[in-house]
Amino acid sequence: MTINDLIHNFAGWLDISGEFSGIVISSRARLARNLQSLPFVHRATDEQLSTLVDTVLTAKSQSPHLERTTFFNLDELSKADRQILVERHLISPELAKKKGQRGILVDNKEIVSVMINEEDHLRLQAIQPGFQPRNVWSLVDKIDDELSGVLDFSFSPKYGYLTACPTNVGTGLRVSVLIHLPALVLTQEIDKVLRAVAQVGLAVRGFYGEGTDVVGNLFQISNQTTLGKAEHEIIEGLERIIREVVDQELKARGTLLKDAKLEIEDKVWRALGILENARLLTSQEFMNLSSATRLGYAMDLIAFPEIKVLNELMVLTQPYHLQRLVGRSLRPSERDKIRANLVRERLRDDKPEGGVKDE
């Protein structure tokens, strides 16, 4: 599998299976692990980083979940290709900036991946569509068990798994969901809800994770610490809070239909009309318009486009994906034109025969 193959691949987590798929885009579990025999990444030499990569590539053959993954050596990728991996949520923005021997293992459905030499030696990851925290944890736990049979992970009987960042010490587990909360934003309840989320120890981040902005009313919510809690406690705590957030979002959608139905219908249909007809679309504009369209479809205000199509466009309309699709660097104005063309064509293909009638 090549970067070009990735571009034309429909990532498994973009599907619409899983609970609350109209609100929760995806669920992710990530385990931080370090080898006992090597210093942490920030203290390792280039030779030691290279040794770690070789060790992991040898070990992957002993893992049924990893043996068929593709390895991308980031040192051999252009900046643009690294950013494609970021845009597909396969690597962090931080890893994309780093130099030296670093890489990622990716399966062909982009469900399972392993970042190598990011902040920790290994970041084992599993991501699936909808609200599936238990399933992604089960998957990443199996990979951890497989690798533990051939790799000696750094572990303290007192503290648990040792990591470069103190907040990951313990289980090393981060579980997160990417969740769409437009109604809470429109009813101006979002700040209250997010404050409540933070008060119970969860972190709220932007579209690409830590240090990134919220776009298209998409929020990433995850546990913040791992020390002193068992894995099942972390997952149960996140599940409970996310269910409450989903309930609040559904109530807000009900409020919009009851108190401002015409206004919300107008917002949804305007957004869809622009997406169907615009000749220029910025990335942020697309995300905001697709948010309104996604909301309209979930609330049965419009019959298309399906959530799956919007998920696909959410990835393909990003800057470096567009450049790879046309095979050259693009000025912002060129990207906006190509993005608008791509969206119009994809929506036209998805539109039911005879169009959509406004009832």
Does some domain include residue 230?
Answer: yes
Cβ atoms within 10 Å, residue 330: 17
Residues 329 and 181 in one domain: no
Residues 241 and 272 in one domain: no
Residues 40 and 63 in one domain: yes
Residue of 58, 38, 33 lying closest to 48 (CA atoms): 38
Q: Of the residues 204, 229, 252, which one is the last residue of a structural domain? A: 252
Is residue 103 pLDDT above 50, yes or no? yes
Does some domain include residue 357?
Answer: no
Residue of 175, 130, 149 lying closest to 66 (CA atoms): 149
Residues 246 and 278 in one domain: no
Q: How confident is the model at residue 90 (pLDDT cuts 50, 70, 90)?
A: very high
Residues 125 and 24 in one domain: yes
Residues 113 and 242 in one domain: yes
Cβ atoms within 10 Å, residue 223: 23
Please answer whether residues 133 and 239 qualify as being in contact, where contact means their C-beta atoms are separated by less than 8 angstroms: yes
What's 209's domain CATH number?
3.30.590.10
Per-residue pLDDT of 284-324, as tens digits, reads 999 999 999 999 999 999 999 999 999 999 999 999 999 99
Q: How confident is the model at residue 227 (pLDDT cuts 50, 70, 90)?
A: confident
Q: Of the residues 252, 284, 316, which one is the last residue of a structural domain? A: 252
Q: What is the pLDDT of residue 108?
A: 94
Is residue 249 pLDDT above 90, yes or no? yes
Is residue 25 pLDDT above 60, yes or no? yes
Mean pLDDT over 78-102 rounds to 94
Mean pLDDT over 84-109 rounds to 94
Q: Of the residues 224, 252, 280, which one is the last residue of a structural domain? A: 252
Residues 237 and 272 in one domain: no
Residues 307 and 207 in one domain: no
Please answer whether residues 79 and 91 qualify as being in contact, where contact means their C-beta atoms are separated by less than 8 angstroms: no
Is residue 357 pLDDT above 70, yes or no? no
Per-residue pLDDT of 330-353, as tens digits, reads 999 999 999 999 999 999 998 886
Domain extent at residue 327: 260-350
Does some domain include residue 355?
Answer: no
Q: In the chain, how many domains are there? A: 2
Distance CA 279, CA 39 (A): 52
Q: How confident is the model at residue 354 (pLDDT cuts 50, 70, 90)?
A: low
Mean pLDDT over 252-272 rounds to 97
What SS3 class is residue 126? strand
Q: What is the pLDDT of residue 220?
A: 95
Residues 273 and 246 in one domain: no
Residues 274 and 208 in one domain: no
Distance CA 54, CA 73 (A): 11
